[in-house]
Amino acid sequence: MEIDSRMRVKDLPLSERPYEKLETCGPGSLSDAELLAIVIKSGSKKERSIELAQRILGIKKQGIRGIYELSLEDLQKVSGIGRVKSIQIKAIAELSKRISKNNAVTKFKISSPGTIASIFMEELRYLKQEHLKIVFLDTKNQIISDKFLTVGTVNASLINPREVFIEALKHNAVHVILLHNHPSGDPTPSREDILITKRIINAGDIIGIKLLDHIIIGDGNYISLKEQGIFQN
């Protein structure tokens, strides 16, 4: 007779059960697999929720980071993960990105490329296509808002500086910062990146809304075109 693995968690010592462990020791005491097991709630007839979580974390061989790269379809290919559980997992991944971004905005004042990169790193680093984002700032260099402008290859011939500054005017921005990601993970600027930056710098000088920087996000690293000397002091 086959044993239903979903009941095996109850056979574990209290200190090893994810729910009880979180209650007694706090969420920081749980492993990535244990936290994911709480989200999953139940396993299958072949494995416990913790074992199922470990299998999901091993798909991309990147641990918890790999969840960002898994689509709903990828998750639903895993035995024991259906529509509802796949949606729950992706929702948690998205929530974690938003919390990370919100905490960074609260903690840092925009005073250097490193601070702005830290705010948007988790949001941009895992994207499979290039996304160009505008960050709108007030006179004190505090973030008013941000918005994706384009999705796909960032190409100077496809991006009109007029669109950038129309959005800036809508948000009453005094300064703007551009960010975009390189899906390859290498933030080295291309010729197109430099052309776009120079065109928007020149347009901003005419309109009176200054482009403070253009930051390219790689996989955990970044390059500031201002620090590269593209901007004139």
pLDDT, average across residues 92-120? 74
pLDDT at position 4:
45
pLDDT at position 7:
43
Query: Is 229's pLDDT higher than 60?
Result: yes
What average pLDDT is seen over the chain? Answer: 83
More confident residue, 52 or 105: 52
CA distance 141 to 134: 14
CA distance 222 to 206: 28
Flag whether the pTM goes above 0.75. no
More confident residue, 44 or 7: 44
Could you write out the DSSP letters of every residue in the chain? ----GGGGGGGS-GGGSHHHHHHHH-GGGS-HHHHHHHHH----SSS-HHHHHHHHHTTTTSGGGGGGG--HHHHHTSTT--HHHHHHHHHHHHHHHHHHHHHHHHH--S-SHHHHHHHHHHHHTT-SS-EEEEEEE-TTS-EEEEEEEEES---TTT--HHHHHHHHHHTT-SEEEEEEE-TTS--PPPHHHHHHHHHHHHHHHHHT-EEEEEEEE-SS-EEETTTTT-S--
pLDDT at position 2:
43
Point out the least confidently predicted range of 44-58, 92-106, 136-150, 191-205: 92-106
Which among 57, 47, 52, 51 is positioned nearest to 6, based on CA atoms?
47
pLDDT, average across residues 43-72? 80
More confident residue, 131 or 67: 131
More confident residue, 85 or 63: 85
CA distance 167 to 176: 10
Handedness of CA 222, 137, 159, 228 (dihedral sign): negative
More confident residue, 101 or 122: 122
Query: Is 222's pLDDT higher than 50?
Result: yes
pLDDT at position 189:
94
